[in-house]
Amino acid sequence: MRTRIAITGLGVKTPAGLTVAEAFTTVLNGKSVVQHVDALSEADVAVPMAAVVPEFDIDSYFSRRERHGLDRTARLGLAAAIDAVADSGLAPGKLGVRCGVCVGIGGVGTSASIENVVMNRITTGKRLGPFTVPMTMPSATAARIALRMGITGPATTYATACASGTTAIGEALRAIRSGALDAIIAGGAESGLTPIVIEGFQQIGVLSRRVDDPAAASRPFDADRDGFVMGEGAAFLILERWDHALARGARIYAELAGYGATSDASHIVAPEPTGLCASRCIAAALTDARVDRVEVGHVNAHGTATVANDAAEAAALTRFFGPEVPPVTATKGITGHMIAGAGAFEAVVTALSVQQGMVPPVANFERCSDGIALDVVAGEPQLIGSAPAISNLFGFGGQNATLAISPA
């Protein structure tokens, strides 16, 4: 019989909340937390808005000594991972060689860290500190988690742009199935709310320009959507071999049942408009999960709120499911796009939605644009009962990843 994977712990540091309960409540309320950011307007950035993680008590997470080498991405990531381990009941510091770490890092956080170093170097003229390299290396968050938790199995980092968090969780599923590991801390972290990073995305034309009304800017699948809003955040899940979780009496939120991954091979930023490879990604995840399409209770869509993504994703969903696409939700209306944090947090939201049989509404959604025929959950959470769900993340470069999550 094939190895089943249990989700036994969750931890988040997101704009929607600093705990899993708080963040999921915010998501169920369906109100965007996107806000104006003074630091960006002061730096003359044309779209000075983002979804920002509230301040939290870093003293309770990191010693004064530990925090010198931690940039904001690593702080959010490590704090979320610490919460996830605590939630799972595993003993931190003694996780050992049968445990691993899989972290998604899109690169936006890395770019922001380097931007900060360079700007500081230029404005002060002072030499770099010795923590520059250990702080800006993309693998820093994974290494920090392993260090803190005493994990001596592999600590790996995945970069598939916006899909990075999902890829990390999916690859963790494969690593546990391979038999090499019993448990993995898997998720993603990203913080890149710096002027040059934001302006870079703005120059692609993918960011919403609705700067006079930030809370209404991120509107997945809505007819009046005009782009995504950058967010920051981190989420981690504890994934465990099913019998390992049962043996220690762990609470199981849901089953991570399947993973699919494909590439569009079409364009470096634009999604392939017919959704062919994205639909194959969904098919791969559900085949892997041994779940038939008619069993799927809801879709947690990538839903960035760019005109092109949402149209291509709708095409992929219709192509795969036919006219009866299950109810669709999209978390980015609330949190903006947390890049690698997005896929990880959306896996958390999907797991809780499956566990509670309740699909959150899409913030700011009023009506579908022409040509999109989806049942988008709006206004109130929708009760759907116990059923599997999928979480899609489709990254720049046409990098697609889908997770299938089933009730425990």
Partner 1 sequence: MGTSHDQILQIVMDTVSEVVGLDPGALTPQANLMGEYDLDSIELMEIGTRLERAFMVQIEPGQLFDAESASDVASYLYDKVLVA
Let me know if 277 is a catalytic residue.
no
Per the residue annotation, which of 102, 244, 277, 337 is the catalytic one? Answer: 337
- Closest approach of partner 1 to the CB of residue 125, in Å: 11
Comparing CA positions, the residue from 314, 296, 290 lying closest to residue 365 is: 314
Residues of the chain by 3-state class (helix, strand, coil), percent to 5: 40, 20, 40
Let me know if 337 is a catalytic residue.
yes
- Closest approach of partner 1 to the CB of residue 128, in Å: 8
Distance CA(315)–CA(291), nearest Å, equals: 21
Please identify, using beta-carbon distances, which residue of 67 and 177 lies nearer to partner 1.
67
- Closest approach of partner 1 to the CB of residue 126, in Å: 6
List b or e across 52-89, with b for residues whose CB sees 16 or more CB atoms inside 10 angstroms.
bbeeeeeeebbeeeeeebbbbbbbbbbbbbbbbbebbe
Please identify, using beta-carbon distances, which residue of 63 and 178 lies nearer to partner 1.
63
Please identify, using beta-carbon distances, which residue of 69 and 92 lies nearer to partner 1.
69
User: 329 near 296, Cβ under 8 Å?
Assistant: no
What token pair was written down for 169?
């969780």
Give CA separation, 262 vs 259, 265, 315, 347, 373, in Å: 10, 9, 16, 18, 24
Please identify, using beta-carbon distances, which residue of 60 and 178 lies nearer to partner 1.
60
Give CA separation, 384 vs 80, 332, 357, 372, 381, in Å: 29, 21, 5, 22, 9
- Closest approach of partner 1 to the CB of residue 69, in Å: 8
- Closest approach of partner 1 to the CB of residue 110, in Å: 19
Let me know if 162 is a catalytic residue.
yes
Please identify, using beta-carbon distances, which residue of 123 and 178 lies nearer to partner 1.
123
Distance CA(400)–CA(388), nearest Å, equals: 20
Please identify, using beta-carbon distances, which residue of 2 and 126 lies nearer to partner 1.
126
Distance CA(59)–CA(269), nearest Å, equals: 39
Tell whether the torsion through CA atoms of 75, 78, 80 and 83 is positive or negative: negative
Please identify, using beta-carbon distances, which residue of 128 and 268 lies nearer to partner 1.
128
Torsions phi, psi for 138 (to 5 deg): -60, -25
Distance CA(34)–CA(261), nearest Å, equals: 30
- Closest approach of partner 1 to the CB of residue 132, in Å: 10
Instruction: Give the residues across from 51 on adjacent strands.
Output: 231
Please identify, using beta-carbon distances, which residue of 21 and 128 lies nearer to partner 1.
128
Comparing CA positions, the residue from 271, 124, 125, 111 lying closest to residue 197 is: 111
Distance, CA of 156 to chain centre: 17
Per the residue annotation, which of 162, 277, 281, 368 is the catalytic one? Answer: 162
Q: Which residues bind partner 1 (CB under 8 A)?
A: 63-66, 68-69, 126-131, 134
Residues 6+ apart with CB under 8 A from 41: 48
Per the residue annotation, which of 99, 298, 302, 368 is the catalytic one? Answer: 302
- Closest approach of partner 1 to the CB of residue 63, in Å: 5
User: 394 near 311, Cβ under 8 Å?
Assistant: no
Four-point Cα dihedral 131, 136, 141, 142, nearest 10? -100
- Closest approach of partner 1 to the CB of residue 137, in Å: 13
Positions annotated as catalytic residues are 162, 302, 337
